């Protein structure tokens, strides 16, 4: 790859992984650094390691700062984009109004941008992924929670304060289960990772610990949404029921998105989508049956093409 200012440093700062990469403007990843975030150690520690890893990435690959046109950091949590401040994050304890943009720019001497990871992923899908060339679509990330990124006219729609896209926190079931946001019956609380984990624990209460251990190889309170997906894919009926219920609610959420946005496409990303057809197919079916006929028949509903690189390619796309 040519050394030029066409390269960016893209960072995916998640609750468990801290990935950094040198990325070309065409989305080619030239070099990667994979670290554990060690979120519990707080912002100062993480920022030190981030700066160090960026320095190493540049040095080891014999780049200089001049080759890099900018740094973009996609953060798992709400970001005040204009000021480059991480306002808070459920996944990053201790991060309250951290002026990440200013800190990184000062310590590296490279212009820096900070944005939310779901926004970054949406732009990543538009520039490099499943929605290449699709000007109006909605990206939905189903992981522990559920986030949305709205692309209108080829631009990320951020709303008045950069807070748009909180599709996970639309209420779809009055008096439904408590959500991380404090409300009840949000889409996120019905279909995302925490919902799947809550529901499987509820159901496994009636099942003997031995039986639970036989299926899952662990205790009920250690089971993750990924484990439930695996068990469902292997035919465990209780797991199938939990996944099927979650898929139903995801389908209702997709139908609401279709009726409001009449999008050309919906891109589904995030860890829970990796559970696969057993989760995604019934959700799409419910969405197409529930939404109005015309928008339901024209919308393409596809999965992310960027996989584990969504974060860094999204970050790269934000400044490319």
261 part of the interface to a second copy, by CB under 8 A: yes
User: Measured from the CB of residue 45, what is the shortest distance to a second copy in angstroms?
Assistant: 28
The DSSP string of 237-283 is HHHHHHHHHHHHHHHHHHHHHHHHH--SEEEEESGGGGG-HHHHHHH
Return the closest-CA partner of residue 19 out of 318, 316, 319, 304.
316
Q: In the window 81-110, what residues touch a second copy (CB under 8 A)?
A: none
Q: Which of 78, 73, 39, 36 is nearest to 180 (CA)?
A: 78
- The piece of 25-33, 109-117, 120-128, 163-171 that touches a second copy (CB under 8 A) is 163-171
**Does the protein bind a second copy through residue 277 (CB under 8 A)?**
no
292 binds a second copy (CB under 8 A): yes
Confirm or reject binding of residue 309 to a second copy (CB under 8 A).
no
Q: Is the dihedral of CA 83, 97, 94, 108 positive or negative?
A: positive
Q: Indicate which single residue of 24, 69, 170, 233 sits in contact with a second copy (rule: CB under 8 A).
A: 170
- Report if residue 160 touches a second copy, rule: CB under 8 A: yes
Residue 169 as a binder of a second copy (CB under 8 A): the answer is: yes
Residue 262 binds a second copy, judged by CB under 8 A? yes
Q: What is the pairing mode between strands 155-157 and 146-152?
A: antiparallel
Binding segment (CB under 8 A) for a second copy, from list 9-17, 54-62, 272-280, 286-294: 286-294
Both tokens of residue 28? 């080619």
Q: Which of 46, 299, 313, 315 binds a second copy (CB under 8 A)?
A: 299
| Residue numbers 120-149 binding a second copy by CB under 8 A | 136, 148
Q: What's the min distance (Å) between Cβ of 276 and a second copy?
A: 25
């Amino acid at each position: 790859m040519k050394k030029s200012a066409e390269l960016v440093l893209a960072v995916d700062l998640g609750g468990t992984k801290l990935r950094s990469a040198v990325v070309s403007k065409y989305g080619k990843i030239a070099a990667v650094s994979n670290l554990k975030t060690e979120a519990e150690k707080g912002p100062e520690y993480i920022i030190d390691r981030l700066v160090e890893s960026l320095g190493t990435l540049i040095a080891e690959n014999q780049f200089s700062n001049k080759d890099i046109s900018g740094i973009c950091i996609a953060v798992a949590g709400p970001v005040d984009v204009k000021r480059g401040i991480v306002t808070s994050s459920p996944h990053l304890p201790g991060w309250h109004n951290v002026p990440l943009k200013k800190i990184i720019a000062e310590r590296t001497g490279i212009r820096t941008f900070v944005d939310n990871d779901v926004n970054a992923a949406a732009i990543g899908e538009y520039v490099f992924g499943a929605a290449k060339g699709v000007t109006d679509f909605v990206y939905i990330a189903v992981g522990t929670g559920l986030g949305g990124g709205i692309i209108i006219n080829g631009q990320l729609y951020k709303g008045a304060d950069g807070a748009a896209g909180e599709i996970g926190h639309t209420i779809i079931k009055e008096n439904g289960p408590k959500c991380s946001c404090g409300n009840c019956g949000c889409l996120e609380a019905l279909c995302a990772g925490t919902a799947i984990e809550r529901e499987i624990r509820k159901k496994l209460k009636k099942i003997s610990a031995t039986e639970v251990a036989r299926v899952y190889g662990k205790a009920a309170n250690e089971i993750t949404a990924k484990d439930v997906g695996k068990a469902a894919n292997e035919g465990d009926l209780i797991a199938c029921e939990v996944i099927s219920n979650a898929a139903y609610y995801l389908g209702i959420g997709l139908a609401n998105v279709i009726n409001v946005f009449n999008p050309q496409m919906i891109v589904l990303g995030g860890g829970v989508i990796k559970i696969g057809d057993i989760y995604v197919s019934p959700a799409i079916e419910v969405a197409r049956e529930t939404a109005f006929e015309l928008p339901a028949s024209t919308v393409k509903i596809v999965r992310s093409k960027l996989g584990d690189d969504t974060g860094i390619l999204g970050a790269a796309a934000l400044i490319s």
